[in-house]
Structure 1
Amino acid sequence: MFVDRPVGIDLGTTNSEIAMLDPSERDLHIYADRFGRRTVPSAVAWDPKGEAFLVGYAARQRRGKTPPPVESIKRKMGQNAKVDVGPHALAPEDVSAKILAELRARMSEHLGKQASEGIEVRVDRAVITVPAYFDAPQVEATRKAGEMAGLDVIGILQEPTAAAIYHTWKSRLGDGNFLVYDLGGGTFDVSILRCLGGEYQVLAIDGDNYLGGDDLDRRFAEKLRGILVARGYALDLDVRGDEEDRQRFGRLVHLAQEIKESLSTSEVVSVSKQDFMQDKSGENVSFEGDIGRADYEKAIGDLVETTITCCERALARSAETSSVDLGQIDHVVLVGGSTRVPMVVRRVTEAICKKSRSEKPLQDEVDTCVALGAAIHAAQLGGLRIGEPERKIMVSFTTPLVSQGSKIRLGVRVEQAPEGAAEIAVLRGMSGAEEVAKAALPDAAGAVVRLDVPLGEEPEHASRVALRSVEREVLAELPFALYRGDVRPRASALSRPSVVAKDLSIEVVRAGRRERRVLIARGAGLPAEVKSRFFTADQSGAVVLRLLQNRMPIKALLLQVPRELPVGTPVDLTLRCDDAMRMEARAVVAGQELWAQVEPPAAPRFDPAGAVEALLEEAEATSKSLWGTSATHYRAEADMLVAGIREVVATDPDKLQALCEKLRLLVDWYRGDPNETLSPPMARFEAELNELRRRVYRASGNLYGMDRSAWEKRLAELEARAMAAYEASDAVAWRRVFNEVQALDETAMQEEFAQMRLDDPAYLERRLRSERYYAQSVERHLVDFVPSSSDVGSLQVAERDKLVVQLQEKVLAPLANLTADTTDAAALRRKLEAINAETSRIDGARERLPSLGLVTERGGA
């Protein structure tokens, strides 16, 4: 006979755990080795001697050896990448599958030792957890890894929800709002959840896929390296380019980890580490000295504050969408081994608990509560399956086997039955024929039978489920147990624990500019469906529905339509997303229909640590902060660069780097370097002020109602106010004086033009230089244009080539024949104005190239 109870697995960045809820629901079983260790390192290595893969502690022990273990593979989940494990090149899901297979094997052995003789305990079904911030490809890769490990993945559960489920079960918490703070080895997540009637709803999520305990260790390891360098050791390390340096820094990280763990219980740690590695000159390195908790906290303080900022963003989102702010939080839950760091507990208590209804954070089983919560949810989803293949009987109990009352209502599904079976019955005891409940087998395969079974006062009742013939002959039976006792709260099977990790949006045209329109917002519960109506914006012969996840492209749906199709023709889009973030889209326009399965988007191959995504977000924020001619000039440049980046992010690393560098320089010029405290940067303020000075000194009379002397006083006053604001780091005053200078410059420019003699040779000379620069700029942008990788790319290239020819014939060639040295100034001015009009037309058409076929939100636009 076999017993199959689904397990919960926390597939962690640093460590992983596996657990199962006992059918009595009184205990949670979690795997522990003979040393009592309940976690398994998420490490895989190749043993060259045994020519076999190693997993867990055996793999971790190969640190510093060749070949080294692969760790923190969770950070690569969902990426189109390979990692070397000895002689093997494995995808991230392949590595994770080996960890899951190891967990499965160990749990099966662990439960088998506890089982009665003749009982086979199977570990075939599982709920696997993922960070709340995981996106579609990462979720799908996790599911695939489970299947490769031989598991039937009956659910993917987000880690904060699992932690909330465990604490609700353990502490018998009622309905309420949770803030789950999960600082693991490699990732940080925060989720705001609402529990109502056993159903969990995720209200908001935030976090950082590249911030965890590993980063705290590396940060302090760098401090230790600095101390050792000051003591004369040769430790100027090239961690990226030199394998030996990487191993040296790895030993410093391990030392930092030991110090971190010691400082969790002591204010000061005396460290004496003799000859624990060699420096670059071959000298043995020793470290002796006292390390105080304050030293450690100073080194990691900004990382901890980053997590608090994530919490504040999640709470702001929750307050906006669900009116649940910090004051409505009932429980603050700490998850992950890194929450043992005293500074983390203190900052969470100060910044969150003291302003909420939770006096202090819940901090129980921080390493394993996610796996334990997943086990509780797995039991709810998968019930208990028992069977005996030789006798062709297999049944599943879909309801708990525990009741507080004098009877229990069982849900039973007969999955396999011997020939002739017509009735199911529950019999009392391990032998005999005392029948306590019966029902006819349903005709529909897989239907659930409901049986009301009386219970006595005993805490456990031995029972049997029997399949009988029409003549009530027992054809096969299986033993099981029913229990009398407390029923702990657990998640309802109706819960929607999965949410959208990133906005799903579509690119549209608004007022001639490309914008994102969010279709399914981040934090929305899954499954979800949205229907939207858009309208054609041009007569390019194509309709393009470009779907984005956050700011990155997922898929472009292209419909070929007649060129004469009127602008403003309705385009109906339906987007569906299931609980695994598998998407499908359906579009209807002019009687044509297009349906497409939108596969989980492959992670951009050339976007390390989300750098491209962060740059696009910064570029979008910069655009919103600008106004006037600054905004016009910035958007003209930035829109084309952003469009190009989206097209090459997964195909061309060299072009991607070049485009990102251009966008980085553009953003830094208008907004400032990320390390600067004030925005816009000083260089841009000085450029704007100097441009205003030049206009003042070029003016022959009063400008804007002031003579040159008054202007000099005004300029000096503006510069003094700016310097005072800059030195005081007063962002509000700095922005105010910059806006004042920009407004004065734009007004002075208009007045200067109004006063200018249009036949002045100096004006004509500047105008000719300006037109040549403008034309060359448009030509450069046309040459640099990156066409779409979808079918619309051919339309864009054809239009681009046409514009290049027009620019050469109507702008560049005529400009080459013009000179400011002429006696007919009026004729030259007319020619320049005609050329400017043609250049502007071509430039406008160039800016619309990435928007060909895109839809708009307003009919007839």
Structure 2
Amino acid sequence: MAMPYLDRAIGIDLGTTNSEVAWLPPDERDLVIHADRFGRRTVPSAVSWDEKASQFVVGHAARNKRGTTASPIESIKRKMGQKTKVKVGPHELSPEEVSSKILVELRDRIRETLTQRPNAFGTDVETRATRAVITVPAYFDAPQVEATRRAGELAGLDVIGILQEPTAAAIYHTWKRRLGDGNFLVYDLGGGTFDVSVLRCLGGEYQVLAIDGDNFLGGDDFDRRYAEHLRKELVQKGYALDLDVKGSEDDRRLFARLVHLAQEIKESLSITDVVHVNKSDFVKDKSGESVSYEGDVGRAEYEAIIADLVETTMGCSERALARAHEVANVTAADIDHVILVGGSTRVPLVVRRVTEAFCKKENEPLRDDVDTCVALGAAVHAAHIGGTLLGDETSRVRVNTPLVASGDRLRVGLTVEAAPKNATHIALWQGERALAEGAISQEPMRFDVVLGEAEETKATLALQSPVGAPVTELPFVMTRGDLRPRPTALSRASVVAKDISLEVVRGGRRERKVLLSRGTGLPSQVTQVFFTADQSGAVVLRILQNRLPIKTLVVEVPRELPVGSPVEVTLRCDESMRLEAQATVGSQQIDAHIEPPQALPGGAPDVEALLEQAEKARRALWGGLGFEFARDADLLVVGIREVLHTDPDKLEALCLRLRHLVEEFHGGAADQIVPPMARMEEAFDVLRRVVYRTEGILLGMDRAEWDTRIDTLYDKAIAAHEVGDGPTWRRVFNEVQALCETAYQEEFSTMRLDDPAYIQRRMMGLTFRAQRVEQALSELVPSTTDEIRVMQVAEQRRIGKWLEDSVTKPLHGLKDGKEVSEVRRGLEQIDAEIERLEAALERIPSIGLVTDRGAAG
């Protein structure tokens, strides 16, 4: 006869640098986390191939192969959701296949831990770990989430949930510290990703108010930044260390040794102000000479080198708080608990900046178990949503409620998922005494059970025949104790990380509409109805997250289907971020499929070609559109130059973002019709808004003449688009853009400056410009040259204080019932300050650099 089993879902933090696994036992007294024989509770997210044993190795064994010909695959999390392969020994594996190796290791380790642990249900009960909740960064998009789920399935796990990492951390701290209601800011800086979330907990119900972050910023970037600093120092000492990390495997291994040294220095400086480094012959340079490094490194010096990376995380945090203020009126002053998560939050500069910016004077950030709190919170969530499975070879019963009660009564919720055919009743027995009984139902059942005086009430769960004879008996233990806080069923522990929109391609024209906006609580469902515009025989729909296509639907329909037939699109996103789409046209119905983004082809020439394409787009775009493009493109180009020779994975991601930005504003490299249709439609929309809100004559035309002019231009544009006439399309776009900006200027010149509507519009415009300056400032990536970076970071901080003192605070003050004339004068002054700030911001990348322009005559 098979041994009865107990199955509680495990919680897994699949990290970029390290991973962890945890389990909440039925008595819920404490959380169980795997630790090896050395007491290490984290498993390095590293996978390598052991040639002698002909098998994969994971964790510390793999990480120890750094610098050898069998160097491990690390930071694979950065490639999740991409169509790419990495070489591990003789194997070519996808990112999810590599991640599955790590998950198998975690699964096996927790099983070993549970086998060695005393089981309150008895030694004859097997403890299983077949189900899991896996965490992901809050800023992961749909393909990355799906790749994580797929990795769990490849590891043989039943993935019952995907949970965002900051939410998991908040759940753990609430559970451990028995925190009550409040607002949380969770700052999660791991090895390779940064996330920040603002959450509200009310009556056990969690609601994510705002998220932000960067999937390519973490402690690894600190290490690479400082490794590059070390490399330059060593080059000045005469070592041959001009490296091409992207193009040479040998150079990549050599730089990895420098990164490892930088990591050791970082960890030492987390506990001391100055560290003496003495590394003799730790690597050979490109000429074969042994490299040694000796010297003192101060914390202040190290912090100056990584300061801009930390400030980028602060900018993300400010944006998350701004979003929380917008949707729920929660500001920094309303934050009750700041939680630090991730090993990189041990860096003193990080702790100091977060404390200064977000903690109330009497509070310090919560820093419990920064390496493992995500896995621990995931384990609490896993026990909550997965319940407890009890079973044997013929039966399976799910306990849907906690097995812990603070008093002498426990309400037990049960669902019989499998039972022998002759079992018709279910009962709980303590010896000869029946604690509860009833008929087996397909619906969940609830029983009120009176507990004994002992701390544990050991009972038997019996599935019985019609005459009361037991068919199956399973051990059952209930505990009297303190039931700690846990999420309620109403919690929306996950939200949509980025806008999910629908692009409909019909007759050569594209329409895009946001279906699920960033921050929407999950689960969520939305239905949108469109209408066919032609009889081409197919309707193509693209689901996008931000600018990235993630699902495509092609619905083939009869050519005789009438024009104007409805196209119904339903988009569902469940609480574990599983995204499903369905389109119905006439009698045809089709489901969507995930399309991970293609990896950028390797090689520096491809990067240079992309940068040249971006420069071409910059020259072609002008006016407000050109400014908008340049603002985003400049940040990406600086970032690409920064990591070109040090971080191939981050380089790939930044290039992908730049490519999508160019395509959105200017079209692809092979497109003859530029800019894209969406930009043309937007230009016409802006022009119509200016015309229709203006009374009387504008640029010498009345409303009817404007209607005729706009319709003529629109028809001309559509005709050019349909036949692929690029020059005409471009001329129409330039004319529309020029009309729009000129009309706006004339509208402005005729406005009464004391008109409340004008004042309100002006204030909103200045607020938006100030936010753009703040965002651009936070996302700025300084030079890799030490001397230039110090000057640029200092200027970055100066401008930040200038923005706060001269723009942000005065703008806020103008909203407090001032006279119209006073508000107008204040707005004029703020406008001038923003112009000066924008000019100063543009100068930062050129600080310390030379120019090819001669002096003025």
Flag whether TM exceeds 0.5 (same fold): yes
Q: Please name the residue that 2:138 is paired with.
A: 132
Task: Please state how far the C-alpha of 1:598 moved relative to its aligned partner.
Answer: 2.1
Confirm whether residue 63 of structure 1 aligns to residue 69 of structure 2: no
Shift of 1:519: 2.0
5 Å-filtered alignment, 1:276-675, equals 276-354=282-360, 359-389=363-393, 392-428=394-430, 432-442=431-441, 444=442, 447-507=443-503, 516-532=512-528, 545-553=541-549, 554-555=551-552, 557=554, 573-579=569-575, 580-586=577-583, 592=586, 595-606=589-600, 627=623, 663=662
- In structure 2, how many angstroms separate the alpha carbons of the residues matched to 1:483 and 1:475? 26
Give the C-alpha shift of residue 526 in structure 1.
2.2
Distance in 1 (CA, whole Å) between partners of 2:32 and 2:346 is: 23
CA distance in 1, matches of 2:504, 2:340: 41
Cα pair distance change 1:119/1:456, threshold 3 Å: closer
For 1:21, the equivalent position in structure 2 comes to: 24
CA–CA separation in structure 2 for the residues paired with 1:360 and 1:419: 59
Q: Look up the SS of the partner of 1:529 in the other structure.
A: strand
Distance in 2, matches of 1:577 and 1:422, equals 38
SS for the counterpart of 1:229 is helix
Cα distance change on mapping 1:503 and 1:199 into 2, 3 Å: same
Cα distance change of structure 1 residues 112 and 845 upon mapping to structure 2, 3 Å threshold: same
Equivalent pair of 1:393/1:477 in contact (CA under 8 Å) = no
1:121-270 → structure 2 map (5 Å cutoff): 121-270=127-276
Cα distance change on mapping 1:617 and 1:308 into 2, 3 Å = farther
Percent identical among aligned pairs is 58
Q: Distance in 2 between matches of 1:525 and 1:546?
A: 22
| Residues 1:521 and 1:488: Cα distance change in structure 2 (over 3 Å) | same
Matched AA of 1:582: L
Greater shift, 198-207 or 342-351, is seen at: 198-207
Unaligned runs of 5+ in 2: 631-651, 667-716, 737-857
- Shift of the alpha carbon at 1:377? 0.6
- Structure 1 residue runs without a partner (length 5+): 635-652, 668-777, 786-795, 805-838, 849-861
The secondary structure found in structure 1 opposite 2:303 is helix
CA contact 2:552–2:594 (8 Å) conserved in 1: no
| Cα distance in 2, alignment partners of residues 605 and 847 from structure 1 | 37
Aligned equivalents of 1:633 and 1:249: distance in 2? Answer: 34
Larger deviation, residues 473-482 vs 22-31: 473-482
User: Do 2:547 and 2:660's aligned partners in 1 also have CA atoms closer than 8 Å?
Assistant: no
Which deviates further from its counterpart, 573-582 or 276-285? 573-582
TM-score by length of 2: 0.69
User: After the TM superposition, which of the residue ranges 358-367 and 52-61 deviates more from structure 2?
Assistant: 358-367
Quick one: structure 1 residues 587 and 226, their matched pair in 2 at CA, closer, same or farther if it must change by over 3 Å? same
Deviation per CA, 1:312-344, whole angstroms, max 9, x where unpaired?
111122222232222222211111000010000
Q: Is the 8 A contact 1:543 1:561 kept in 2?
A: no
1:242 maps to a residue whose letter is S
Partner residue of 2:669?
A: none
Q: What secondary structure is seen at the aligned counterpart in 1 of 2:260? A: helix
Q: Could you tell me how far 1:840 is from its partner in structure 2?
A: 4.4
Q: Report the 3-state secondary structure (helix = DSSP H, G, I; strand = E; otherwise coil) of the residue aligned with 1:522.
A: coil
Q: What CA distance in whole angstroms lies between the structure 1 residues aligned with 2:565 and 2:157?
A: 49
CA contact (8 A) 1:586 1:593 kept: no
CA contact (8 A) 1:186 1:215 kept: yes
SS of equivalent to 1:33: coil
Task: Supply the distance in 2 between the matched residues of 1:424 and 1:282 (Cα, whole angstroms).
Answer: 76
Report deviation, 1:273: 1.1
Aligned amino acid, residue 137 of structure 1: P
Query: CA offset at residue 80 of structure 1?
Result: 0.7
1:316 corresponds to which letter in structure 2?
A: A
Mapped contact 1:509–1:537 kept (Cα < 8 A): no
Instruction: Tell me how far apart the structure 2 counterparts of residues 616 and 540 of structure 1 sit (CA, whole Å).
Output: 37
Q: CA contact under 8 A between 1:583 and 1:600: conserved in structure 2?
A: no
Q: Distance in 1 between matches of 2:562 and 2:732?
A: 22
Shift of 1:502: 1.7
Partner of 2:48: 45
Code of the residue aligned with 2:425 in structure 1: it is E
C-alpha distance in 2, partners of 1:576/1:189?
Answer: 24
1:162/1:625 Cα in 2 relative to 1: closer, same or farther (>3 Å)? farther
Q: Tell me the CA shift for residue 530 of structure 1.
A: 2.5
Tell me, in whole angstroms, the C-alpha distance in 1 between the residues paired with 2:302 and 2:625.
48
1:546 is displaced (CA, Å) by: 4.3
Structure 1 residue 26 displacement after superposition = 0.8
Aligned pair in 2 of structure 1 residues 627, 841: CA closer, same or farther (>3 Å)? closer
Q: How far apart, CA to CA, are the structure 2 residues paired with 1:662 and 1:450? A: 55
Taking a change above 3 Å as real, the CA distance of residues 626 and 537 of structure 1, as seen in their structure-2 partners, is farther
Cα offset, 1:464, TM superposition:
1.6
Q: Distance in 1 between matches of 2:628 and 2:297?
A: 54
Amino acid aligned to 2:372: T
SS in 2 for 1:223: helix
- In the alignment, the residues of structure 2 paired with residue 124 and residue 309 of structure 1 have an alpha-carbon distance, to the nearest angstrom, of 40
**Larger Cα Rg: Structure 1 or Structure 2?**
1
- Report deviation, 1:585: 3.6
Could you give the per-residue CA deviations for residues 781-805 of structure 1, whole angstroms, max 9, x where no partner exists? 99xx9xxxxxxxxxx6xx33xx59x
1:724 maps to what in 2?
Answer: none
1:478 counterpart SS class: strand
Cα deviation for residue 354 of structure 1 reads 3.8
What is the CA-CA distance between 1:23 and the residue it aligns to?
A: 0.7
Q: Conserved in 2, the CA contact under 8 Å of 1:188 and 1:207? A: yes
Structure 2 residue identity aligned to 1:77? M
Please list the CA deviations of residues 224-257 of structure 1 after superposition, one character each: whole Å capped at 9, or x if unmatched: 1122222222222222222222222111111111
Secondary structure at the aligned position of 1:156 is classed as strand
User: SS of 1:489's equivalent?
Assistant: coil
Q: What SS does structure 2 have at the residue aligned with 1:273? A: strand
- Report the 3-state secondary structure (helix = DSSP H, G, I; strand = E; otherwise coil) of the residue aligned with 1:303: helix
Residues 460, 474 of structure 2: 8 Å contact kept: yes
Return the offset for 1:562: 7.5
3-state SS in 2 of match to 1:312: helix
Quick one: distance in 2 between partners of 1:531 and 1:475?
48
User: Residues 125 and 665 from structure 1, CA distance in 2 versus in 1: closer, same or farther, beyond 3 angstroms?
Assistant: closer
- Alpha-carbon deviations, 1:287-321, whole Å to 9, x = none? 11111100110110000000011111111222222
Q: Deviations over 1:343-373 (max 9, x none)?
A: 0011111122248xx8221110110000000
> 1 CA distance for matches of 2:246 and 2:601?
17
Deviation per residue, 1:177-199 (Å, 9 max, x gap): 21111111111111111222222
Q: Supply the distance in 2 between the matched residues of 1:457 and 1:330 (Cα, whole angstroms).
A: 39
1:109 to 109, 112, 118: 112
Give the superposed CA RMSD: 4.1
SS at match of 1:220: helix
**Can you list the C-alpha shifts for 1:444-485, whole angstroms capped at 9, x where unaligned?**
3xx322111112332222222122223322333222211111
| Residues 119-128 or 547-556, more deviating | 547-556
Distance between the aligned counterparts of 1:137 and 1:9, measured in 2?
Answer: 19
| Shift, 1:88, TM fit | 0.4
Alpha-carbon displacement from aligned partner over 1:631-655 (angstroms, at most 9, x marks no partner): 9999xxxxxxxxxxxxxxxxxx9xx
Contact kept? 1:623, 1:631, Cα under 8 Å: no
Give a deviation string over 1:537-584, Cα, whole Å, max 9, x none: 789897664443212334365677989978x88765543333433221
